[in-house]
Structure 1
Amino acid sequence: MAEPLLSLRGVKTDIGRYHILHGVEFDVPEGGLTMLLGRNGAGKTTTLRTIMGLWRATAGEVRFAGRNIAGLATPDIARLGIAYVPESMAIFADLTVQENLTLAARSGPPDQKRLDWIFSRFEALKRFWTLPAGNLSGGQKQMLAVARAIIEPRRLLLIDEPTKGLAPAIITNMIDAFRELKDGEASLLVVEQNFAFARQLGDTVAVMDDGKVAHTGSMAAFAADDALQQHLLGMGMGEHQ
C-alpha cells in the first residue's frame, strides 16, 4: 500500500487551558479527496489549523510526504506545497480581485491558462477583476478564497467549509473544480457540512467526535451506512442536503 501523503498520529492541540485535540489519527491518501466530518465543535477546524502550523501541536506527528512538519512555521509548510482556505476566507478586502490572486501566485504573475480555467469555474472573478474584493458578495468572496489557493498547483489543499453560504449553481461549479483538481494535480482535505457535496466528491472520510477521530474509511461505505451516520453525526446524510 502506498504511503499516505498526509498522516496524523497522536496529535494533541491545546488552546490556552483548553485541550481541543486528543490524539487525532488519520491519513490522507495521495490523490483524491478526503472529507473531514463531525458535529460542530468536534475539532475539525483545529485539525486543519494544526496541520498548517497556525496552532502548534503539543504532542504527536503531522507527516507530509514522509516528513514530520509539526514543528515548522506556517510559511515553511506552505512552501512545501500545502494551501489552506479558512472558513473566514481571509481575503484582502481593500485589494482588487486581481491583486488578491497576484499576491497568491508566489512564483510570479498568474499563468493565463490557469486564470482562464479558474474563470471558467468562477466567472464572477473575471467580471469583477478590477474591483476591491470587499465589494464581492459572500459567495463571490468564497470563490476568490478558493481561487487564491489554486492559482498555482499545490500538492495538498486544506479547505474549511467551501460551500457555506453558496448558491446551488456556484456549488456545482465548485464540485467540478474540485473534481478536476483531485483527479489531476492535488490531494484535498475538506471540512464540509453539506453532505450532498461530501457524498459526491469524497473518496475517503474521517469523522471526528470530541477531539478524536471516531471513524475512517471510504466515503461510499459511510454514505451507505445510515446507522453509523446517525451515531457519529446525529443525522443521516440523506436528511441534510
Structure 2
Amino acid sequence: MTADLVRLEGVHTHIGQYHILQGVDLVVPEGELTVLLGRNGAGKTTCLRTIMGLWQPSAGRLTWRGREIGGWATPDIARLGIAYVPESMGIFADLTVAENMVLAARAGRPDPRRLDWIFGFFPALRKFWDFPAGVLSGGQKQMLSIARAVIEPRDLILVDEPTKGIAPAIIEAMIGAFRELKRGGTTILLVEQNFRFAASLGDGVAVMDDGRIVHAGRMADLAADAALQTRLLGLSLDQHQ
C-alpha cells in the first residue's frame, strides 16, 4: 500500500474577496507522480500555492504525512523537503546560472555529483553556467527553474505547467528528469495543460473544475477513455496535439 504524503480534506482558500478553492479533497501518494488537470481558472495553481503556504487555507485540513501543516509559513514547509517550481519560473535574472543554483542549495554549495546528474538532462545549464540567467531562452529558464528545485534531494516537488511554450526537445529532457526523480523516490505533483506529456508521466490524476476536485483516479484509465477526457476536460488526448 502506498502511503499518503499530502492530503487535502475540504480545503478552502480565499484570495481577497475571491473564493478560489471550494472544498478540495486531494490525496498525493508517496513515490508517485500525480497530475492535476483542469481548465484555466479551475484553481490548480491556487492548490499548489496553498500546499506551499504561499496562500493560507481558510478552512479544511492540509496534512503532510498525517501532520497538520495548514497555516504554516512557506519556509517551514520548504524545510520539510518540499520544493515549488512556479509557472513564472522564479529565477533571478540578474544572477548567473551558478548563483541561482547556489542560492537554491540549502547547504550553500551544490553537490558536484548532483550537478553532473542535472547537466545530463539539461546540458545547456553547464554551457551557460557563468552567464546571467536573464539571457537564457524561455526553455533554458524553465530548465534552470526545475534544476533549482532538485539541486538537493526533495521529498515532494510541486511543478506548475513546466511545458508551457517549451520546445519538444526540452520537453523530452523534462520527461527523462521526472522519471529519474520518481525512480529515486521523489513524489511529484504536476499541474499541466499538455495532456500527452501528463499521460506519459502520471501515475495518478485529479481533475479540478470551479475550485473542486471532480475526478480522481489512475492516469492510465483516463488516458484510455476518450469519452471521459472529453467530459472532464472538453478535449480528448487524441484530439490534443
What root-mean-square deviation, in Å, do the aligned CA atoms of Structure 1 and Structure 2 show?
Answer: 0.8
Quote the residue 1:12 is aligned against: 12
Quote the residue 1:78 is aligned against: 78
Deviation of residue 208 (structure 1)?
A: 0.3
Match runs of 1:1-241 below 5 Å:
1-241=1-241
Tell me, which stretches of 5 or more residues in structure 2 are unaligned? Answer: none
Deviation of residue 131 (structure 1)?
A: 0.4
| Percent of pairs with identical residues | 68
Runs ≥4 in structure 1, deviation > 4 angstroms? none
Post-superposition CA distance 1:174-224 (Å, at most 9, x none):
000000101213000000011111111000000001100000000000111
What is the identity, as a one-letter code, of the residue corresponding to 1:24?
A: V
Post-superposition CA distance 1:11-65 (Å, at most 9, x none):
0001111110100001111102000000010000000000000000000111111
In structure 1, what is the Cα distance between the partners aligned to 2:228 and 2:185? 32
- The two structures have a TM-score, normalised by structure 2, of 0.98
SS in 1 for 2:118: helix
Post-superposition CA distance 1:119-155 (Å, at most 9, x none):
0100110000000000101110000000000000000
Q: Quick check: 1:98–1:129 contact (8 Å CA) kept in 2?
A: yes
In structure 1, what is the Cα distance between the partners aligned to 2:2 and 2:124? 39
Deviation of residue 108 (structure 1)?
A: 2.6
What is the identity, as a one-letter code, of the residue corresponding to 2:129?
A: W
SS in 1 for 2:180: helix
Aligned positions, number: 241
What is the identity, as a one-letter code, of the residue corresponding to 1:120?
A: G
What is the identity, as a one-letter code, of the residue corresponding to 2:171?
A: I
In structure 2, what is the Cα distance between the partners aligned to 1:210 and 1:191? 15
Tell me, which stretches of 5 or more residues in structure 1 are unaligned? Answer: none
In structure 1, what is the Cα distance between the partners aligned to 2:166 and 2:2? 36
- The two structures have a TM-score, normalised by structure 1, of 0.98
Deviation of residue 225 (structure 1)?
A: 1.2
SS in 2 for 1:98: helix
In structure 2, what is the Cα distance between the partners aligned to 1:232 and 1:17? 28
